[in-house]
Each structure stands twice: as structure tokens, then as C-alpha cells.
Amino acid sequence: MAALIKLRHMPVVQRCLWNHLNKVSRNISTSKKNSDDVKDVCDVPVKNWVSYGFHYKDQTEDTNVHNASFFFSVTLCLVFGTFMWAYAPDVHMRDWAQREAYLELRRREKLGQPVISPHYIEPEKIKLPSEEDLCGVEIII
């Protein structure tokens, strides 16, 4: 409260507060001057205008195309594209494979089988070459 009282006595703050609190409307009517005529926006050349590269003669067309292209590329492609990519369904079935693995582990534990079988393929189904066929061949494991 003391700070507000001190601020009240400052001349700049006092003038600003006085203008906001006392909204006195002082309307002045003037006649229209020749320099106030409405001109076409396209007719008035803009000083120091650098084109974005979309349109080299019309500033409004250049700005509109620039804004539209950035809206479509950034907002639609990057933002919504990232959102759709992040929340898309699992097309590679990775979640399904993990669920199936947990179900298989639970089934094997319930039956008392080992978690991972040492025989991925039954040994009766595998036909290996004899020792005579492998006599001069280097075996790399």
C-alpha cells in the first residue's frame, strides 16, 4: 500500500493514471484533406520491399502465398503429420508379438516346461551330412 502511495506522487505515473482514470473524450472534427484520399494498395510502391520469392511484382500476392505455404508445410505437415505418426496403430504388429510372447511364457511356466526350448526344431526332422561328406570342408560356427 505504501508503494502505491509513493507511485501516486510520481509525475509520470500520475499523468498516466490520470489519463486512464479520467477518460475525457475530446473529439476534433476536421475536413478531409487531399492527402487523405483513398488510393489502391497495389498502386503505391512499397519502399525497401524484399520478395519472399513467390511473386516478384505484387507484395500482397507474395505475402499471401508465403503465409499459405508455411501454414501448409509447418502446421499441416509437421504438426499434424507428427501427431498422426505418433498415434497411428501398430502396423508392424510389435505389440501383438510381445503379447504373444508373454502368453507363451505363461503357458510354458504353467506346464513346467523350460522357458526357452533347447531344440527349436526337433532333432528327428534335421538331416545332417555324414562325416565322410564333411572330411575336407571347414566348418564355421
What digits encode the pLDDT tens for the residues 91-115?
888 888 899 999 999 999 999 998 8
Choose among 27, 26, 9: nearest CA to 18. Answer: 9
**pTM beyond 0.85:** no
91/93 Cα distance (integer angstroms): 5
Task: Write down the domain spans for the chain.
Answer: 56-91
Give tens-digit pLDDT for 114-139.
Answer: 888 888 888 899 888 888 888 878 87
